[in-house]
Amino acid sequence: MKRFAGVLNFLCGASICLVLFSQFAFQSNANNHSSFQILPNEWHAPALPHQLSFAGEAVPLDRWDVAESLDRELLINAYNPATILYMLKLSHRYFPLISEKLKANGVPDDFKYMCIAESNLQSDAVSRAGAVGFWQFMNSSAPVYGLNVNTQIDERMDIIKSTDAACKYVKSAHAKFGSWTAAAASYNCGQGCYSEQAGFQRNKNYYDLQLPEQTNHYVFRILAFKYILANAEMLGYKISDTEKYNEVPYKTRIISSSIPDLAKFATDNGTTYKMIRVMNPWIRGKSLAVKSGSSYQIKLPVENSEDAKH
């Protein structure tokens, strides 16, 4: 026991010396390299905007509960620099495509930020519940909105077709609830849930409703992304034009007959199976069956944008 106590005393003494030495070394290093910091000296909460809207509908920021809900999402997301920087780069590629489809479908442009809230603009995003793709459609609801899903294709991963599908949902929800904000919230919890809660609480206004926890934060998350991306430079996020991701130049091949071997199809067209899958994430198999009278558009890479056809 005495021997054990001696060893213990030695270890404790060594630990104290190590701590003191570490503190001295850190202070000495800080004095010699004053510009080096492990953590910033101060953290500042992003200032709340005085006014904000979603799809032309004013956000009642004069209400403390609304202001604090937005503040929460701004704090959580504004201090997630890797995600914000990646979204700034990636949105340069996808936002023009999404905005074009939103406009064509008569849906406000602010819904492009909902795509970030849903999937962070990832074609292969999969939720715990099994929702897939840019707009996170479930396997059961995808066909309702015109998206084909089988072992060979999954059109939830097609940015154009899935955006059209999302527009169908949003427009039907807007017609039902009379508000784009409510339509966005129902995208998260479902029109049935929103209707049930609106009926029970005798109020259709999103900001007045107690909804499932995720839906309570959902619209504020969309608003946070809108504010952060629109004011990125003011918030300290610096991205040059050369750092942004451009749309990859491509040409389109219309396929009206089945492709039994996509790898051979790729090499026959001067590319690889991997690139076929990357540029057409909705293709999931090694072959592509095409029903009589149907067709698919496959994107093929080109060397420069002058050769691209859209």
**Structure confidence by residue, pLDDT tens digits, 93-111:** 999 999 999 999 999 999 9
- Dist. CA 274–CA 301, nearest whole Å: 11
Instruction: Write down the domain spans for the chain.
Output: 53-243, 250-307
Model confidence over 18-77: pLDDT tens digits? 444 444 444 444 444 445 455 566 778 888 999 999 999 999 999 999 999 999 999 999
Query: 2 or 155: whose pLDDT is higher?
Result: 155
The mean pLDDT value of the chain amounts to: 88
Model confidence over 188-210: pLDDT tens digits? 999 999 999 999 999 999 999 99
Q: Which H, E and C letters describe 91-107, residue by residue? A: HHHHHHHHHHHHHHCCC
pLDDT for position 29 = 46
Model confidence over 245-272: pLDDT tens digits? 999 999 999 999 999 999 999 999 999 9
Model confidence over 118-164: pLDDT tens digits? 999 999 999 999 999 999 999 999 999 999 999 999 999 999 999 99
Please provide the CATH number assigned to the domain covering 53-243. Answer: 1.10.530.10
- Percent of the chain with pLDDT strictly greater than 70: 85
pLDDT for position 42 = 76
pLDDT for position 249 = 94
Task: Count other Cβ atoms within 10 Å, centred on residue 194.
Answer: 25
Q: Is 120 left (phi over 0), alpha (psi -120 to 50) or beta?
A: left
Name the band, by pLDDT with cuts 50, 70 and 90, for residue 277.
very high
Which DSSP category does 45 fall into?
Answer: P
Average pLDDT over residues 279-301: 95
Average pLDDT over residues 170-176: 98
Tell me, yes or no, if the pTM score tops 0.85.
no
Tokens of 106: 């008569």
Could you tell me if 130 and 136 are in contact, meaning their C-beta atoms sit under 8 angstroms apart?
Answer: no
Give the H/E segment covering residue 33: none
- Whether the per-residue pLDDT at 217 is higher than 80: the answer is yes
Model confidence over 225-245: pLDDT tens digits? 999 999 999 999 999 999 999
